[in-house]
Chains A and B, each alone.
Chain A
């Protein structure tokens, strides 16, 4: 905060807040931080590193498939790279980037809170995430990476067919990863329900926060089936159980049901943060409120809910009875409706506003284009006969890359531009940003569009090579070109942001005149986010000039400053009435210690040193106990 220009009493209050909330400097500060913004940045750069790894894997895949009978990768390496690409992009990039990195940084700011509800658990979920990512990648570096495809069907995943540690890295790594995601989701739900600024009733909550709430609620219910599935698998692989073994009364389809009971809601979970970002960028650059605001909020929640009823549409070729197929096809068509509501709400908001097509809005335009495209090919799969022909072909690969890259990642890229000034206090380069959009857009279309054609021409997915006689070479080559163009576009974005950071053109607190509360504070925001707890009277509180001017007057008067400690107000769940003042915990070395003990425990389980694993489990419990010893807070 520009302290020197403030009147003396205001300045005193701000300095006191600075002193209370300041964390340790340097590396130690980052290791023990509980500040949601720093944790958000840790998540951001970690997931970005995994995005880089997953991207390199994608380029390796595309290089191997550029021509028939190519020998860049051996079949075994290809299968590991192909599996790791999927696992990385889903579990280590898109979900943690959208839900955790953007969510961590933005949710407390948007609801006018000073931190997440459980700041130390927040730190824990980050360190667990980092540990699980390293654990999963340790497999690849030992050339024992997961090799069974990201959905890793039984019985191919059992010891008889995959005796190495590959599948164990996958199964244990994802159980580990689930701990982090679950802790994060609980934290978001409590934060969103309890820590909203006074006056922010549910109907005044930003749509980004609705999307994060929907994701977090989905996570709580979708991870147990996956964890159970993976636990069954490990029990079968290591302890002689027979969950998926027909000879002993098991059933391989059990794996698929449980996996997709997780896997399909999870697809919506991937795209929900993207909806949230779109509904943040569109109103700002269209210079108007979202059209049909309550419908969009409802649609976000409905997507997460209906998503739980469609899992068997991944199993239309498994020979399930037709009656059950038809039920799941109907549900799959129903889940289209919340998406069409949003698509038209976004489009009509742009039409009825006075849009400025700056880079963030361009990325949202790309997002809508690809989302509609991938959504329409998704509807085709709800026509069961067509699905039975094209499932497990490149048509599916095309469809879900349009959704996962085009629809889920484009808003993340647009969001990076949009919130870059907020996070750094500096402005990105707009012309270069526009160029980066067009390069990325072209690369995406060129990479993924020909995959539809290949699917219709019979190219099945997960093949490490194909014969020249199949006639698939041309399309594959164009995809490989597209992939490199896409990579160039992504590098342009990274280059723009790094260069803009170094060039340091100041952005000011609110360069785009955004409507949500993160724009009401300085860029970058102070540790405590808001010197005065903001009061909210509409869904776009930063457009309520009088309210924000009242905040400034309150700071002078010393009202709602809450500077007696790490204080933030809690409000009632539905109406956002003032409830109580919470005393938030400060930085702590225990979350990272606990996460490290859990990492060691999982490693020992992997190596079947169960006694040592139990000891590290005990260490984790001790760290948990130490965590709860209340330390004195000094001011």
Chain B
């Protein structure tokens, strides 16, 4: 058919675009890039990606070449090298059964027998630190067993240390995922799952909940701060302490309004455990699980109208304004 030539050109162009695009990926930025591994496990995962990607392009190329060959030889019957039905059938068996069995067996043994050891839950005695991460709709509670430290959404770990991340949930299923550190692990009611984080260099690693958990699944980020051991230990010591006694008026505002019903500030009468612990609120960089920055303005806006940034979250507007709001902000901003 005469119209075929332009058609084939368009097909070729489309295939070329698709073929070229992933090569750009390696250079892609992004703070949650699977291909920027910062741990041994994630490094292994990214190797699996590069190997399977190259294999996939070869496989794709073979079939697309076949289609081109069909178009190119459209006026000639039979196979290029001759051969009848029997040859065609043998070719189908060879390419459709033989080659895939070999390739898939190799991939299976490599990825699912060997590489999987890096993403498995860490063996009981192989880690020197345990962090408990508890999913809530829609934030993360973070505890350090053996200490009194209790924080939210931002996890500090020592760099170069095997950390056992133990995940559970307070309500529905969530999934903890920090792409540059390791796989994800679902947190499921009634189960305790764990995975390994072993950051190879200091830095801030972003992650997010990756199992649909309701209205604000989109705003459930977490940050991991991998720090040199001394810094981490200083942070943990501070985090474990109760809040310093405060004479600020805001402390009274906090206790007299509904705040303390849901939030805890250790060392005061505020003991609520529905929302995040605020004992050292100012040690965190973001609010509402990575939704907004932890600045005075954003904090004020959050308190005035929590439903604006994150509609459906469990914090009600408390109608705190004027001097009360200023006092409350001053108090919260003192919780270093």
| Residue in B41, B88, B108, B115 whose beta carbon sits within 8 Å of that of A352 in the complex | B88
Give the residue of A291, A373, A389, A467 whose beta carbon is less than 8 angstroms from that of B88. Answer: A291
Question: Could you tell me the distance in whole angstroms from the C-beta of B35 to the nearest C-beta in chain A?
Answer: 6
Are B33 and A456 touching (Cβ within 8 A)? yes
User: How far is A352 from B66 in the complex, measured between Cα atoms in Å?
Assistant: 10
**Contact pick for B33, options A161, A345, A368, A457, CB 8 Å:** A457
Q: Is A353 an interface residue (CB 8 A)?
A: yes
Q: Check B92–A252 contact: CB distance below 8 A.
A: no
Among A337, A380, A455, A457, the residue within 8 A (CB) of B96 is: A337
The reply to whether B89 and A393 form a contact with Cβ atoms under 8 Å apart is: no
Which residues of A come within 8 Å of B, CB atoms?
74-76, 79, 148-149, 153, 155-156, 161-162, 246, 251-253, 286, 288, 291-292, 295, 317-319, 322, 325-326, 329-330, 333, 336-337, 340-345, 347-358, 362, 365, 368-369, 372-373, 376-377, 379-380, 382-386, 388-393, 431, 434, 438, 441-442, 445, 449-450, 452-453, 455-467, 469-472
With both chains docked as a complex, state the minimum distance between the C-beta of B97 and any C-beta of chain A, in angstroms.
6
Q: Does B266 count as interface, using CB distance less than 8 angstroms? A: no
- A355 and B74 within 8 A (CB): yes
Contact across chains for B30 and A347 when beta carbons are under 8 A apart? no
Pair B97/A337 contact, Cβ less than 8 Å: yes
Instruction: With CB as the reference atom, state the residue of chain A lying closest to B137.
Output: A161
Q: Are A453 and B21 in contact (CB under 8 A)?
A: yes
Which residues of B (73-128) have their CB < 8 Å from a CB of A? Answer: 73-80, 85, 88-89, 91-93, 95-97, 99-101, 104-105, 107-108, 111-113, 115-116, 118-121
Contact B116 A392 (CB under 8 A): no
Q: Using A252-B173, A390-B34, A471-B31 as known contacts, say yes or no to A295 and B212 having CB atoms under 8 A apart.
A: no
Q: Which residues of A contact B45 (CB under 8 A)?
A: 385-386, 388-389
Name the prevailing secondary structure of the A interface residues. helix
Taking the nearest CB of chain B, how far is it from the CB of A438, in angstroms?
Answer: 5
Tally of contact residues, B, Cβ under 8 A: 107
Residue of B nearest to A155 (CB): B172
Q: Can you list 16 pairs linking A and B with CB atoms under 8 Å apart?
A: A149-B212, A155-B189, A156-B213, A319-B121, A319-B186, A322-B116, A342-B96, A350-B70, A352-B77, A376-B59, A380-B48, A380-B49, A386-B48, A457-B28, A458-B206, A470-B32
Residues of the B chain whose Cβ atoms lie less than 8 Å from the Cβ of A341 = 92-93, 96-97
Note all chain A residues with C-beta closer than 8 A to B119.
384-385, 388
Q: From B172, which residue of chain A is reached at the shortest CB distance?
A: A156
User: Which residues of chain B are within 8 angstroms of A449 by Cβ–Cβ distance?
Assistant: 18, 21
Contact assessment for B74 and A357 in the assembled complex, using a CB-CB cutoff below 8 Å: yes
Q: Which residues does chain A contribute within 8 Å of B334, judged by CB atoms? A: none
Please give, as numbers and ranges, the residues of chain A lying within 8 Å of B55 by CB-CB distance: 376
B95 near A344: Cβ-Cβ < 8 Å: yes
Contact for A379 among B32, B104, B312, CB less than 8 A: B104
The smallest beta-carbon distance between B106 and chain A, in angstroms, is 11
Contact between A351 and B73 (Cβ–Cβ < 8 Å)?
yes
Residues of A within 8 A of B3 (CB): 431, 434
What is the CA–CA distance of A355 and B76 in the complex, to the nearest angstrom? 9
User: CB < 8 Å: which of B10, B111, B182, B193 contacts A386?
Assistant: B111
5 A-B pairs with the lowest CB-CB distances in the bound complex, closest first: A458-B32, A246-B190, A388-B183, A350-B70, A319-B193
Closest chain B residue, CB of each to CB of A381: B52
Query: Could you mark each residue 50-76 of chain B with 1 if its beta carbon is under 8 Å from any beta carbon of chain A, else 0?
Result: 001101100110011011011101111
Q: A365-B11, A445-B14, A445-B17 are in contact. Are A156 and B60 (CB under 8 A)?
A: no
Contacts of B89 in A (CB 8 A): 291-292, 295
- Interchain CA distance A347-B175 in the complex, whole Å: 41
Q: How far is the CA of A441 from the CA of B33 in the complex (A)?
A: 29
Pick the contact of B14: A295, A382, A442 (CB < 8 A).
Answer: A442
CA–CA, A74 and B28, complex, Å: 31
Report Cα–Cα, A397/B42, bound state, in Å.
21
Interface check B311, CB cutoff 8 A: yes
Inside 8 A of A354's CB, which chain B residues have their CB?
74-77
Contacts A79-B214, A340-B100, A460-B209 aside, 19 further interface pairs with beta carbons under 8 A come to A75-B312, A76-B312, A153-B172, A156-B212, A253-B188, A295-B96, A340-B96, A348-B79, A349-B88, A350-B67, A354-B74, A357-B4, A368-B63, A373-B60, A383-B112, A388-B185, A453-B28, A455-B34, A467-B290
A379 touches B88 (CB 8 A): no
> B310 — nearest CB in chain A belongs to which residue?
A75
Complex alpha-carbon distance, A322 and B95, angstroms:
31
Give A291 to B63 CA distance when docked, in angstroms: 16
Residue from B29, B59, B97, B215 in contact with A75 in the complex, judged by beta carbons closer than 8 Å = B215
Closest CB in chain B relative to A356 CB, distance in Å: 6
Closest chain-A Cβ to B71's Cβ sits at a distance in Å of 6
A351/B80 in contact, CB under 8 A:
yes
Partner of B311, one of A75, A156, A456: A75
Whole-angstrom distance between the Cβ of A634 and the nearest chain B Cβ: 52
Closest to B88 in A: A291
- Whether, in the assembled complex, B179 has its beta carbon less than 8 Å from a beta carbon of chain A, the answer is yes
Inter-chain CA distance A393–B25, complex, in Å, is 16
Task: Name which residue of chain B comes closest to A288, CB basis.
Answer: B77
Residue from the list B10, B60, B93, B121 in contact with A376, Cβ < 8 A: B60
Bound complex: CA of A431 vs CA of B4, how far in Å?
11
Give chain B nearest CB distance to A449 CB in angstroms.
6
**CB neighbours of B214 from chain A (8 A):** 79, 156, 161-162
How far is it, in angstroms, between the C-alpha of A317 and the C-alpha of B104 when the chains are bound? 22
Interface string of B241-262 (1 = CB under 8 A from A): 0000000000000000000000
Interface check B15, CB cutoff 8 A:
yes
Our pick among B11, B118, B211 for the contact of A392 (Cβ within 8 Å) is B211
A292 to B91, CA, bound (A): 10
User: Which residues from A are CB-within-8-Å of B60?
Assistant: 372-373, 376
> Which residue from B53, B63, B74, B217 sits with its C-beta under 8 Å from A356?
B74
